[in-house]
Chain A
Amino acid sequence: EAGVAQSPRYKIIEKRQSVAFWCNPISGHATLYWYQQILGQGPKLLIQFQNNGVVDDSQLPKDRFSAERLKGVDSTLKIQPAKLEDSAVYLCASSLAREGNEQFFGPGTRLTVL
């Protein structure tokens, strides 16, 4: 079974530039999550989708971050404009839409903002 795919794996940009990350969840997983993990900290949930609808985006900085999951499969996370403090690993995870399920994480995209 293929895992969660993310691209790119690494990205370096200058502050005020824009960047986008792509995630392809495990086939059949209705729930998709985006996390931000700053070095030395645990992951922090940014947004959760159920199919193509948003379940929770309470911790998403909506003035600069946006995410979409068109057709309920792939998802993109965008930052515009980026700030220095956005330097982190952005993790995508997916899970089946049933109780007691586990989340499967992708390898992440390491973003460096200069």
Chain B
Amino acid sequence: LAKTTQPISMDSYEGQEVNITCSHNNIATNDYITWYQQFPSQGPRFIIQGYKTKVTNEVASLFIPADRKSSTLSLPRVSLSDTAVYYCLVGPIKAAGNKLTFGGGTRVLVKP
């Protein structure tokens, strides 16, 4: 499984855009990039998943350059409730289920 590197923590303010970059230099051809969010005392929650270029949903956008060696999760106009740990995961998608390997994540603190 490809190893990922992401910042340990980031601070932001309400209404700003937060961009978290994840490095995955040894990503394999059949690997996907997935982001999860975890609030205190809760289990992680799926945010977004992509393979290349750009993916957007109602919560976030995921930007993946052509070489796929990094990816950026973009959270538009964050609020205090977006304070959480964000995990970047890289690995293949299998019908029998995906083995998720979590790193330390990025702790995002949104200030008023």
Closest B residue, CB atoms, query A95: B97
A95 touching B98, Cβ below 8 Å: yes
Within A40-57, the residues touching B (CB, 8 Å) are 40-45, 48, 50, 55-56
Tell me the B residues contacting A by CB distance below 8 Å: 32, 34, 41-46, 49, 87, 93-105
Within A53-111, the residues touching B (CB, 8 Å) are 55-56, 91, 93, 95, 97-108
B43 touching A105, Cβ below 8 Å: yes
* A31 on interface, CB distance cutoff 8 Å: yes
Which residues of chain A are within 8 angstroms of B105 by Cβ–Cβ distance? 42
Number of interface residues of A (CB under 8 A): 28
- The count of A-to-B residue pairs whose CB atoms sit within 8 angstroms is 64
Contact check: which of B34, B87, B99 meets A45 at CB < 8 Å?
B99
B interface, over-half SS: loop
A101–B96 alpha-carbon span in the complex (Å): 10
Q: A41-B104, A42-B105 are in contact. Are A107 and B43 (CB under 8 A)?
A: yes
A59–B96 alpha-carbon span in the complex (Å): 18
A91 touching B43, Cβ below 8 Å: yes
Q: A41-B104, A42-B87, A42-B104 are in contact. Are A108 and B43 (CB under 8 A)?
A: yes
